[in-house]
Structure 1
């Protein structure tokens, strides 16, 4: 038994030795194989790698067989490795590429085929170094991408076409100039978009392109809106045997500077002849390619520009500059304006558009010189400062607006309108008009006239939320700038009141002179008429009492008018005494009590104080009270209450209020009260209130009227307690 077991062990050892020998031979054979391969277990340990694999991975075999495959795949995302392993498990094979990182930090692009090796789950990866191929492809792609970037980012129109004129491709500016979609442009002949008058120019230029390789000129192209004049440059065989045409719209510029535009050739090639500076720079910021425009803008030769940093010419690296760099690094693109200092010391403002292409190893920046625009803007700012000083310092209100809202208003305007500036600027025009609906109609009419005529001036009574009214003169000019209108306005309420008072004063002077001239002449014959009427009444036997009563009544009415005329005559010497206003009012009410009783009218009297003493001429004030109370009685034919109040108004004035329950007076009629011969009564003369107003003014007081149609009218008389006090208004 023992001998049998020993014999089996010996046989096993012999077999193992044989297998080891065969394994060594296999290893020697695998090392001779030129194609690199490695064997990896399920834990991603490298079990074996042939000599070619060690050379490929730049790692000695002894070290390689102690490493994991993931040591070389640090730049490969883990989920990609997971997908590749799953594919080997399901399909038994996978073909893909890795970007591996060597132990010395170098990178290689590897193409591999992985397949299951044995039942233990080992995997063989056949490797192929394709780094050089991918590098060549990347350079080719980068060159292509650089061309496409310039093609797509160019401000000018670009068209690629074949020998027969069929458009192969066009950029966005070309389609926009024609107002067509790209699908409507590509595939059509370029001559479809050229004006008939310019076809000869195009044919001649195309022949020149075929003969000499390039050509340029000026022609007109057709768009939906109108014909556009363009400066064009064509080049042959720029890409796969096609032709390229660069077009720049010079329609507007041609109208302004026709002679200059005729002498210029804007484009000959996309990169070298464009008016904008195009600069390519690497990830370190080093410039490696520029066009002629860049040399012109930066006042430097191509040799001086290439190799320097893209930021070298920046005049001031301030917070704005670093914010721009941060935006570029964060979003991969930026648009900004910066000042650049040229080698000759000249300062230029350049508009730049930069785009990052880190995967292709380059970035592109397009520059445009906007120094002239900056100079014009600076002059405009100076002009705006002058306007602002005038705007803010004006004694008139000024407001800049359009139908969408308000752009600005000066302090005087805020004071006139009674609005906080921030509140007003947050409103639109309709919202402002709706705040007090009574103003809307007249203000809308003013706006309509401005929009129709271009400028308009009107005076509008503007009501305010607290109830006051101001007469404001608005003078508006349409479209002062940028679609905004300017309105200059001023409060002319006091001016109108002064004019009205002056007018009333002139009328009173005329009436006074009239009264002084004719009152006595009328009164003398009137006295005779009254005497003879009395004698006639006694001698006539028939009963004509009704006629005599009418004649006597009318003669008394004429005498009353004459008396009022005399009050309006030149001021007479009036003596003022200290009297109790309440006593004067009581005497007046006693005189009118009988008339009030007949009309079923009651007096509601309220004296705030028992004694309100003022310096006055009692009979004249009594006449004022009689005129106003009689008017109140006459507008209440169906009876009612007349409210009479006296009170102290501050420390220096007293206030007398007489309010009725009549039909009320409109605001327009209130303004005319006190004017000579203005009356609302059928048989009135208009002299009563005029006399009353004059007496109150001579007492250095004033009258205010409140009325609401359908509810009644209240007269408020304000009189100074001391004759030295003047009217506060």
Structure 2
């Protein structure tokens, strides 16, 4: 086969595009690969020059390399340029041009090898953009990141890793990391790094980075190219974890050593935690005897329904503001009274109820004993008071009866004195009955407070006139008040009568009515009498304690009880030598007041 046939065979069977051009750039031959590349037939290409299918921006390349061939005695070159497909689409090509000389070694023809690199360039651009974006992302993350190849040479280091390692990344890229950090050889990092590579599985661990004395979390991900390594500063997290562990330890110590029983129940009403005091409270020897048991087995059958209702209420985040008192049934059959506060907590990741309980069995027994003793003491005090108060008038009556019996004659003045003493006995008995009457038997109805006070003042004016005392009234207009009229009158009589008795001749007693607010009225009685010592004001209302010579103290005690039944209050303000102010506060509707 001669050279011409060999060239023709090579041209038309080449896997890449090939063409033969004259020195003017006209195409003389083109293979099928090139024709398919540019969309023209070979005959169409014969009619075209290379300039026709070249991008205008790349025409200078043909001129430039033609000059080099003709003037610089070169025989081949390689360059990239853009061609136009017949359909107008642009193609990026890599061209290798060889100059063929004639027998006289003069330039004769060009043989061009043309490869379509459009897809390759596009992929390279995508890769470049992807790399740029990845580098930007890795530089913006808060974790330090670096990549190494299988020889442990750095191939990438982000900004955070550069800052953390305190070394310019330009100096580290391409270098073996053990050269920079020889102290890490045979460390946990060294072991875990090769473990990840050998097992081809990610690893995560924590260590102290000696150069900065900080805790770091390291994550190593092996790959075909080597390994990607992330590490982040967790010093603050470790500090918080330590504080949390210390806090938990302190809390556990507190719980275990607490004198109060602390129990935790799960949502399914089972005991999941109990401290030492709780073990003693339930009367068992070890927590293993009760952990996991349903808590309802520690309650009396009659208390179960109430317990379950309270349990559900607490689970719905409605804790009891005040301690609850329950009775617990121990395994030995004994019963203990317990005072407990309960609230929802998270225990082992689960919503639970924590109860802080205290055995109040002995305390309640002592309280009951004290209350019984107080009742007996009060009964004894009242009995002594009654005996004393009733004995005095009875002694007077007995004396006058004996005196009359001896005289054997009737004397009107003696009968009058005895009747007065009997009335005094009757008054004492009535006041005791008033104290004993339960408040719930009272029936309230609406009344005009001004009318009630006017009636009382009218009754008391006779006594005031006899002592040369003036009673003044200052009544503001107030709404009707719901009350028991006769009992309120009794209070007003007691207070106004005390004021008259404490006021000297030519003195003044003032009675006022004021509207305190939309729900409250006030009745004030003011006198300019002798006043009351400060240390005695607090004892006003005690039985058998009185400022008056023959007073029993029961009047004010009864008054307090009546006003208390009306949901009101009595206030005293006094100064010796200047007088006393008694203020009675009454709600307009006591049944609606708390």
TM-score, normalised on structure 2?
Answer: 0.37
User: Which structure has the larger Rg over C-alpha atoms?
Assistant: 2
Instruction: Considering Cα pairs closer than 8 Å and 6+ residues apart, tell me whether 1 or 2 has the greater RCO.
Output: 2
